[in-house]
Amino acid sequence: MGVTFNVENLCYKYPSAKEDTIKGITFDVHEGEIFGLLGPSGAGKSTTQKILIKLLEDYRGSISYFGNDLKSMGNSFYEEIGVGFEVPVHFSKLTALENMKFFSGFYKKTADIQELMERVGLWEYRDVKVGEYSKGMKVRLNFVRAMLNNPRVLFLDEVTNGLDPRNARIIKEIIAEYRSKGGTVFLTTHLMNDVEQLCDRVAFCINGRLIEISSPRDLKLKYGKREVKVEYRENATIASAVFPLDGIGFNDEFHKLLKSGKIETIHSGETSMEEIFIIVTGVDLK
Amino acid sequence: MSNLRKLIAGELKRMVKYKILPVSLVTSIIWIVLLLFLSEEEARATAPLLIFTDVAVMSVLLIGASHHLEKQEGTMRTMMVLPVSQGQILAAKTIASMTLAVESAVITSAAMFFIHGVTFNYVLLFLFVVIAGATHAAIGFILSLVSRDFTSMLGLLMGYIVIFTAPSVLFHFGVINEKYEWLLMISPSHSASNLITSAVSGEYRIAMTAAGCLYLMLLTAGLFKYAVYPGFKGNAVRG
């Protein structure tokens, strides 16, 4: 598996800012993985993405893209990447199809617009002006726009923000399919649901610094409690008991409870990504 | 089709969809009606002013309106991640804005011919409209880049008109003495007005016409290279 992006000691300062927004971050994005950059608003996630997609260029440190210095890449770089912005990015007086045809016209290789729009449920609204679209429809159209050129690397910023659960699931299924075909995804989000369901690795970003980089599974093992919580009926009320996970096969009390037939729920002490984020960074995501 | 041609086609299509071209046509119709009520002599004196207004003011307005609308719609960002150069994007927008100026010149020229039987050197007029249009497109970009929104851009445009355009109009009506004309040529508006007036009237002062052309071309190149191009991407990204 190759390295899509190698980022070394990246720093960035906006011209009007007094101090660096990105303060020396280092990470790799591997080919064929979904890499999540998590953090609250203003943490530096979007700035990092803007640097990786060459919208911000006066950075310090080094970034290589498949072994090539990112700064040396020309416009052909944009043939290879797809960018899904958080905010709508379409001409409101043009129909959805007119928008997609306009943008796809600049790429050498393009995806099937109809297939993409059908997958996200927009094909039947293709001749409606984007200005008449709902927020959720615009978010889905943003995703289609990002996929127009069959990108090798996909950048997604808060990709399911504003979507209902059904459409969010469709988008996540397409992203997972894209990854299974070898595509690389750089995902910036504060939605932990997306992270848990999609990301192979995540990095926590706070105040322009990366606090921890790991896989969601490893983080859960590291920060989760090794215990089992059982809720059961007792005298018409719900009681609960917590058992250590280690040696649970030999825990007589636990076995007795299992056999009692009074159990309502059993949960492992696995911690959610949101809780892990708060533990690691000390910052609430909301 | 090359990327530049696709970008220009996109700009022109949006000018129709966003009703900019139809509004411009309505303005031209108003000019035609105005010319109907003027004598031939009055029309000869007024036509350059009408063309100049479209070239100098409408070009700036179009650039400003489309710039701030596209920023508001977020399309500026997504344009920046297309496999096209920033130069191509700027060129397409400039050419689209000049289309309005040329359209106005064509309609006004046609009206002058059909209403008053007046003809003039159309090739030179086209050339001067293109040169002046490009300069004012660059000015439009600069005003857009330094303004927060379209309203504040209109405020800056008003300031520009008071400083650079109003003296030229005053000169046109004889309020400013002719001996100051060379000094007035520093104003892009006056240089543009001078070129358009000379093409319509057929009265050329070679040195002043050549100086006006050269000045506007150098000014356009300088403004695009040192002000518009370096600031455009950062402005588009900020959204």
DSSP for B168-191 reads HHHHHTT-S-GGGHHHHTTSHHHH
Q: Are residues A25 and A58 in the same domain?
A: yes
Whether residue A75 is found in the same domain as residue A200? yes
Q: Is the pLDDT of residue A286 over 60?
A: no
Q: What DSSP character marks residue A270?
A: P
What pLDDT does residue A285 have? 55
A246 and A124, same structural domain? no
| H or E element at residue A240 | strand A237-244
> Is A249 found in the same domain as A132?
no
Domains in chain A: how many in total? 2
Task: Judge if A95 and A17 occupy the same domain.
Answer: yes
Range of the domain at B174: 2-238
Do the domain assignments include residue A191? yes
For residue B187, which phi and psi values (nearest 5 degrees)?
-70, 125
Query: How near does any CA of chain A get to the CA of B6, in Å?
Result: 8
Distance CA A7, CA B181 (A): 59
Which domain covers residue A255, as residue numbers? Answer: 225-269
Band the pLDDT of B205: cuts 50, 70, 90: confident
Please tell me whether residues A210 and A252 are part of one structural domain.
Answer: no
Report the distance separating Cα B100 and Cα B227, nearest Å. Answer: 24
Helix (H) or strand (E) holding A230: strand A227-234
CB of B233 within 8 Å of any CB in chain A?
A: yes
Structure tokens at A113: 């617009």
Give which of A50, A54, A55 to mutate to test B binding, by max B Cβ within 10 Å: A55
Instruction: Nearest by CB to B82, from A50, A93, A103: name it.
Output: A103
The answer to whether B201 and B49 have CB atoms below 8 angstroms apart is no
Q: How confident is the model at residue B222 (pLDDT cuts 50, 70, 90)?
A: very high
Q: Is the pLDDT of residue B239 over 80?
A: no
Residue A280 covered by a domain: no
**Domain CATH number, residue A11:** 3.40.50.300
Residue B74 has pLDDT above 80, yes or no: yes
* Domain co-membership, A209 together with A163: yes
Dist. CA A182–CA A179, nearest whole Å: 5
Q: What is the pTM of this model?
A: 0.87
Listed range (A10-19, A60-69, A126-135, A220-229) with the worst mean pLDDT:
A220-229
- Nearest C-alpha in B relative to A109: B83
Closest C-alpha to A222, from A174, A279, A264: A279
Cα atoms in the 13 Å half-sphere on the side-chain side of A270: 10
Sheet architecture: strand order including A60-65: A22-30, A3-12, A60-65, A68-69
- The tens digit of pLDDT for each residue in A203-220 reads 999 899 998 899 998 988
Q: How far apart are CA A138 and CA B202, in angstroms?
A: 55
Which of A75, A83, A91 has its CB closest to that of B75?
A91
Q: Judge whether residue B212 has pLDDT over 90.
A: yes
Name which residue leads in pLDDT, B238 or A284.
B238
Q: Whole-angstrom Cα distance, residue A48 to residue A205?
A: 10
Do A43 and A123 fall into the same domain? yes
Tell me whether B85 touches chain A (CB under 8 Å): yes
Helices (H), chain A: 45-52, 77-80, 96-104, 113-119, 135-147, 165-180, 192-198, 216-223, 252-260, 273-281
A263 and A213 both lie in a single domain: no
**A contacts of B239 (beta carbons < 8 Å):** 87
Nearest residue in chain A measured CA to CA from B233: A55
CB–CB of B73 and A90 under 8 A? Answer: yes
Number of separate domains in chain B: 1
Per the CB < 8 A criterion, the answer to whether A243 and A254 are in contact is yes
The shortest CB-CB distance from B82 to any of A78, A85, A88 is to A78
Instruction: Express each pLDDT in A150-198 by its tens digit.
Output: 999 999 998 898 899 999 999 999 999 999 999 999 999 888 888 888 9
Interface of B with A in 17-56 (CB under 8 A): 17-18
B86 touches chain A (CB under 8 A): no
Residue A276 has pLDDT above 90, yes or no: no
Q: What is the pLDDT of residue B125?
A: 94
Residue A277 forms part of a structural domain: no
What pairing do the DSSP bridges indicate for beta strands A237-244 and A227-234? antiparallel
Q: What is the pLDDT of residues A28-77, one digit of tens each?
A: 999 999 999 998 888 899 899 999 999 998 999 999 999 999 999 999 99
pLDDT at A43: 87
Please state, for a pLDDT cut of 70, what percent of chain A lies above it: 98
Query: Per the CB < 8 Å rule, is A94 touching B17?
Result: yes
Q: Using pLDDT thresholds of 50, 70 and 90, give the confidence band for residue B59.
A: confident
Q: What pLDDT does residue A280 have?
A: 81
User: Is the same domain home to A128 and A245?
Assistant: no
Instruction: Report if residue A281 sits inside a domain.
Output: no
> Which residue shows structure tokens 């719609």?
B73
Does one domain contain both A211 and A246?
Answer: no
Q: Kindly state whether residue A69 falls inside one of the protein's structural domains.
A: yes
Read off the pLDDT of residues B91-139 as tens digits, 9 standing for 90 and up: 999 999 998 889 989 999 999 999 999 998 999 999 999 999 999 999 9
Residues of B in contact with A87 (CB under 8 A): 74, 239
pLDDT at A221 over 90: no
Q: What is the ipTM of this complex?
A: 0.88
Average pLDDT over residues B52-79: 90
| pLDDT tens-place string over residues B150-195 | 999 999 999 999 999 888 888 878 888 888 889 999 999 999 999 9
- Alpha-carbon radius of gyration of chain A: 22
- A276 is a domain residue: no
Q: How far is A117 from chain B (nearest CA, A)?
A: 18
Q: Does B83 touch chain A (CB under 8 A)?
A: yes
Pairs across A and B, CB distance < 8 A: 64
Residue A128 lies in a domain: yes
Q: Are residues A206 and A234 in the same domain?
A: no
